[in-house]
Amino acid sequence: MQTVRWVIERDQAAADHPAVLRAAQVIRLGGLVAFPTETVYGLGANALDARAVAGIYRAKQRPLNDPLIVHVASPADVEALADLSGLRERAQALIARFWPGPLTLVLPRRPALPALVSAGLDTVAVRMPNHPVALALIRASGVPLAAPSANRFGHVSPTTAQHVLDDLDGHIDAVLDGGPTTIGVESTVLDLTCDPPRILRPGGVTREQLQAILPGVLPIAPVVAAAGQAMPSPGTSPVHYAPRARLIICRDTGELLRRREACLAQGRSVGLLLRADQRAACQACHPYFMLGDGLDEVARNLYAGLRALDALGVDDILVTAVPREGLGEAIADRLARAAAKTQD
């Protein structure tokens, strides 16, 4: 299969833009189109078409017990996918505050929605992305889009169209290239079907922000699926978000430099993921990838950094830990998962 790349400026995005119209036609015919959201690129298919949804799992080589997020273009579209009776007030308060945005709500699934979208669970995960290209595509398609991150299963999520092609070229119909994503880590997944609601995956909306609306919300439950069972949240798979290289998380810059020397002494090649304030102490260390300053920039650049150092073929990637507060919770979670792959 030939994968087409359609470039679109985010401020030109509209449901009648020629690239969006062509992409929407692919979706309606049951095809796969990757598209930018504010978090990472998604791999979209018509969520109402079980065959199209099966194509997502195939292209990503994703296990069938790993449910997908359904993307909508308006809060009103949730009602057709999920049964809100009993939790309407909660859901609406969250939607009013955080949509469009990086908050995915897990809700009771309406039976009309293909079970494959939810990996057979009786719940469905829904969100409205805050990106004009994503919203234009959903509107032009006229259907909700099932869309997990547009990477091979277990690999680092894509934050540019090139990342998508690096993983999926030849396996999907098209990618809408709307430039790099702005948040850079995936959405927060919040389960509203339990009481109190529970965060299944930390992400772009922080625990502190959720607690302001839902004081009783429970923090991340470290759930890992038993073999053959549906995972309550795909982000809970410990092999998620992994680069090829070994990732080592250090407490501070001093430990980072010591670990680097130790790895080099073993004949291993080492790349560093650095924050701006570490550059001076690490100026003799090459190669490195600059994540930038502050948690927003670190989140935005993290996956590009992992991919860039992987592409250089280094054996080890070293990074210092971030505080588990605000967006740091999502960053720390992704770093821990990426490191888990090679440390056990």
Residue number, 46 or 149, with CB nearest to Mg ion: 149
Residue whose pair of structure tokens reads 């990426």 in the numeric block:
338
E-strand ranges in 26-84 read 33-35, 42-46, 69-71
Distance of CA 203 to the CA centre of its chain: 8
155 binds ligand AMP (CB under 6 A): no
320 binds ligand AMP (CB under 6 A): no
* Residue 112 CB contacts under 8 Å (≥ 6 apart), including other chains: 48, 80
Determine contact, residues 40/34, Cβ cutoff 8 Å.
no
Residue number, 133 or 270, with CB nearest to ligand AMP: 133
68 binds ligand AMP (CB under 6 A): yes
Q: Which does 121 bind (CB under 5 to 8 A by kind): ligand AMP, Mg ion, none?
A: ligand AMP
Torsion of CA 98, 99, 104, 108, to 10 degrees: 110
Q: State how beta strands 123-127 and 174-177 pair.
A: unpaired
| Region of 14-22, 30-38, 66-74, 305-313 interacting with ligand AMP (CB under 6 A) | 66-74
| CA–CA dist 160, 41 (Å, integer) | 7
Q: Cβ 333 to ligand AMP, closest distance in Å? A: 11
Q: How far is CA 306 from CA 29, 181, 227, 245, in A?
A: 35, 15, 28, 9
Q: What share of the chain is helix, strand, coil (3-state, %, to 5)?
A: 35, 20, 45
Determine contact, residues 10/17, Cβ cutoff 8 Å.
no
| Region of 49-57, 89-97, 115-123, 247-255 interacting with ligand AMP (CB under 6 A) | 115-123
Q: Cβ 237 to Mg ion, closest distance in Å? A: 9
CA-only gyration radius of the chain, Å? 20
Q: Which does 125 bind (CB under 5 to 8 A by kind): ligand AMP, Mg ion, none?
A: ligand AMP
Q: Cβ 187 to ligand AMP, closest distance in Å? A: 8
Torsion of CA 181, 182, 183, 185, to 10 degrees: 20
| CA–CA dist 250, 266 (Å, integer) | 18
Residue number, 241 or 288, with CB nearest to ligand AMP: 241
Q: What kind and span of H or E run contains 299?
A: helix 294-312
Site string for ligand AMP, 215-234 (x = CB under 6 A): -----------------xxx
125 binds ligand AMP (CB under 6 A): yes
DSSP-assigned letter for residue 157 = P
Residue number, 62 or 260, with CB nearest to Mg ion: 62
Residue number, 56 or 298, with CB nearest to ligand AMP: 56
Residue number, 118 or 141, with CB nearest to ligand AMP: 118
Burial (CB < 10 A; 0-12, 13-18, 19+), residue 344, is: exposed
Determine contact, residues 172/2, Cβ cutoff 8 Å.
no
Determine contact, residues 92/192, Cβ cutoff 8 Å.
no
Q: Which does 235 bind (CB under 5 to 8 A by kind): Mg ion, ligand AMP, none?
A: ligand AMP
| Region of 63-71, 167-175, 275-283, 296-304 interacting with ligand AMP (CB under 6 A) | 63-71
Q: Which of 90, 155, 198, 201 binds ligand AMP (CB under 6 A)?
A: 201
149 binds Mg ion (CB under 5 A): yes
Looking at this protein, which amino acid is placed at residue 152?
A: R
Q: Which of 31, 36, 55, 67 binds ligand AMP (CB under 6 A)?
A: 67
Q: How many residues bind ligand AMP (CB under 6 A)?
A: 19
Q: Which of 38, 49, 186, 329 binds ligand AMP (CB under 6 A)?
A: 186
181 binds Mg ion (CB under 5 A): no
Chain contacts with Mg ion (rule: CB under 5 A): 149
Chain contacts with ligand AMP (rule: CB under 6 A): 67-69, 106, 118, 121, 123-125, 148-149, 186, 189, 200-201, 232-235
